[in-house]
Amino acid sequence: MHTVKQEYIIDKEGNKKSVILPFSEWQKILNDIEELDDIRAYDKAKTKKSNPIPFDKAVKEIRESRSG
């Protein structure tokens, strides 16, 4: 985990309403979110039952579907 330098926008009562942070930090956060989404998708895919097929058969089916 890395430390993020942030500032807050507050309302009249002093409640935090928004966060201001350096753009480079925002990019890191977005990258982390994308990576987490990929991990979750992988984990979800691993829980599904599937019938694996040989690689050669998969390539053949892909080529046949493209030549359609």
Q: What is the pLDDT of residue 68?
A: 64
pLDDT band at 1 (very low <50, low <70, confident <90, very high): low
- Give tens-digit pLDDT for 6-47: 899 999 999 999 999 999 999 999 999 999 999 999 999 888
Q: What is the pLDDT of residue 5?
A: 83
pTM for the structure as a whole: 0.57
Q: What is the pLDDT of residue 54?
A: 92
Q: How far is CA 57 from CA 23, 39, 52, in A?
A: 47, 28, 10
In the three-class reduction of DSSP (H, G, I as helix; E, B as strand; rest coil), residue 8 is classed as strand
* CA-wise closest residue to 17 among 8, 5, 6: 8
Q: How many CA atoms lie within 13 A of 15 on its CB side?
A: 3
